[in-house]
Amino acid sequence: MNIKLMQLQKHGDERGALIALEEVRNVPFAVKRVYYLFDTQQGVRRGFHAHRVARQMAVVVRGSCRFLLDDGREQIEMLLEHPAQGLLIEPMIWHEMYDFSPDCVLLVLADDYYNEQDYIRDRVIFQQLANDAAG
């Protein structure tokens, strides 16, 4: 599956820790948008979509959450629980997020502005498009 969990370099000393995200250097695209999810209520599951072309990187700057990732052929589950983990979500990956810890702040960097046209929100259509792409 076209999913990469990147280990981000942590600059730490006795004062604490710092992680820098720099476009192209450790975020493998030009960043047009940053958004973050917080105060996610217990038991909530969200996402339920894939992007046609947008690339994204997700980081839990605080707390933890789980991802379900599906490329139309296989499904994997991923736990993000440390701010030094950068989850790269490429286009045509169906994703759902769940098991948010109450303190979770999920930061997402994207290579394009918000565009509803880029969303595939119907899982059946997603599966058809994934099958078509696989030939």
C-alpha to C-alpha distances, 76 to 50, 109, 130, nearest whole angstrom: 15, 21, 16
Active-site position among 49, 51, 82, 95: 49
How many residues are given for the chain? 135
Residues numbered 68 to 87 that lie near ligand TYD (CB under 6 A) are: none
Q: Should residue 33 be labelled a site residue for ligand TYD when binding is judged by CB under 6 A? A: yes
Least gap, CB of 11 to ligand TYD (angstroms): 28
Q: How far is the CB of 123 from ligand TYD (least distance, A)?
A: 13
Burial class (CB in 10 A: 0-12, 13-18, 19+), 18: exposed
Catalytic, 95? Answer: no
**Three-state SS at 118:** helix
Q: Give whichever of 95 and 135 is closer to ligand TYD, judged by the CB atom.
A: 95
Which of 5, 12, 23, 35 lies at the binding interface for ligand TYD (CB under 6 A)? 35
Burial of 44-56, coded b for 16+ CB within 10 Å and e otherwise, reads eeebbbbbeebbb
Cα–Cα dist 74/89, whole Å: 15
Q: Quote the least distance from Cβ 9 to ligand TYD, whole Å.
A: 27
Which residue among 21, 28, 29, 46 contacts ligand TYD (CB under 6 A)?
Answer: 46
Assess 32 for contact with ligand TYD (CB under 6 A).
Answer: no
- DSSP, collapsed to helix, strand or coil, labels residue 74 as coil
| Among 31, 38, 49, 127, interactor with ligand TYD by CB under 6 A | 49
Count of residues interacting with ligand TYD (CB under 6 A): 6
